[in-house]
Amino acid sequence: MPVHFDAAEMRARRQTVATSIANAGLDALLVFKQESMYYLTGYDTFGFSLFQCLIVDADGSTNLFTRLPDLRQAQYTSDLTEQQIHIWRDREGVQPAQELRSLLDHLGLAGKRFGIELDSYGLKAAAWRALEVELTGFCVWEDASQLVDRVRARKSDQEIVYARRAAVLADDAWDEAVRLSCPGAFEGDILAAMQGAVFKGGGDYAGNEFIIGSGPAALLVRYHTGRRYLAHEDQLTLEFAGAYRRYHAAMMRTLLIGEVDAQHQQMFDACVEALHACMHTLRPGVSMGEVFSAHADVMDARSYATHRMAACGYGMGAVYNPLWVDPPMFYAGNPLEVESRNVFFLHMILANSDTGHAMSLGQTVLVTEHGCESLSRSNLELVCVA
């Protein structure tokens, strides 16, 4: 399978990152985030949890250090050449950190200044402790966990095409949920149809499980094991994402079974108002904290301060397990400025543990030159089925 972007775009990505490496006063970057590896080379795997590293020099050259099971994975999915792929093999007493140091030495990087993606699921604490020992006295290093992330945040034309396709798949999944939800419906059937819609549309597994919860579990915002049947009066919370070429577009909805009561309607109205307020605020140059404040001001004015979340969304992109969250996040005081071509998931969530009522509303948006655009075709009406 070829890389899902043309060669010119891939070269431009590496050059941009190489320039960032040099501007940071670094000679090379040790990449442990699978998202960064995919962005820079197309390399696509879940083997990142078992220790691997992409070495990127300030001149843009790249070398991958990985396990034998991922050799063909790298050959098939990336634009790396045979000479750029270096393998460590499982055996008793193997020390991949030591072998990585030997490779760095071979590449002429002894005594250089490295940036390291420390904030990464691909660099577990035990692996870092071993690697830190090897790097001590070998080089100078510093945390550069956000270097590639900052470049990835601004999406190219092709990335936006994939994000739009992911949003179509999310809408397809939502359509299936609405079609199947009714008194007596089994959550497992709803979940299977939603995930199936993504696969039938050519999509991928999302970066984390689809979240589904009804009854008291509708107040949860995490996946949990165990399925139930919907009651004649019920609430069903769904948080899910279409994923295409690893790019995500998330949605969130609380669907009602039976009649709408006054509390659910009031909560829904607050979610709609807050979402519109966030979208009105979201444009290039505003801080992420300002967007969060737009959400909080609406919720708090409606007396939902104790029932809302302390964040109202985050970045969307090509991400891997265990989360489809692609930081940064919208939370109080976040000074980071929004840029055009950023893609975000905005979620308005209310969970009232006192009354047992849940309500949520969320969609993925693209920041344009003057505002933002919803990528979803689904309307923002409250769905209630009898």
- What are the pLDDT digits (tens) for 210-225? 999 999 999 999 999 9
Residue ranges of domains in the chain: 7-152, 157-385
- pLDDT at res. 2: 78
Q: What digits encode the pLDDT tens for the residues 254-310?
A: 999 999 999 999 999 999 999 999 999 999 999 999 999 999 999 999 999 999 999
According to DSSP, the residues that pair with 153 across neighbouring strands are: none
CATH code: domain 7-152 is: 3.40.350.10
Are 57 and 74 in contact by the 8 Å Cβ rule? The answer is no
- Tell me phi and psi for residue 66, to 5 degrees: -150, 175
Burial class for 152, CB neighbours closer than 10 Å (0-12, 13-18, 19+): buried
Q: Are strands 113-116 and 234-244 parallel, antiparallel or unpaired?
A: unpaired
The pLDDT tens digits for 92-129 are 999 999 999 999 999 999 999 999 999 999 999 999 99
Q: In sequence order, which residues have a C-beta less than 8 Å from that of residue 227 and are 6 or more positions away? A: 186, 187, 188, 191
Calpha distance 246→162 (Å, rounded): 9
Mean predicted confidence (pLDDT) in 147-155 = 98
> Which ranges of the chain would DSSP assign to H, the alpha helix?
7-23, 34-41, 71-77, 96-106, 125-135, 147-152, 157-180, 187-200, 262-281, 288-301
Q: How far apart are CA 257 and CA 384, in angstroms?
A: 6
What is the tens place of the pLDDT at every residue in 68-87? 999 999 999 999 999 999 99
Burial of residue 268 (CB within 10 Å: 0-12, 13-18, 19+) is buried
The conformation of residue 356, written as its DSSP 8-state character, comes to T
Q: Decide whether 7-152 matches 157-385 in CATH topology.
A: no
At residue 1, the pLDDT reads: 57
Are 164 and 158 contacting, i.e. CB atoms less than 8 angstroms apart?
Answer: no
Question: What pLDDT digit, counting tens, does each position of 317-376 carry?
Answer: 999 999 999 999 999 999 999 999 999 999 999 999 999 999 999 999 999 999 999 999
Q: Which CATH architecture has domain 157-385?
A: Alpha-Beta Complex (3.90)
Q: Residue type at 26?
A: L
Cα(201)–Cα(172) distance, integer angstroms? 9
Nearest-10 crossing angle of helices 96-106, 125-135: 40
Task: Point out which residues pair with 372 in neighbouring strands.
Answer: 367
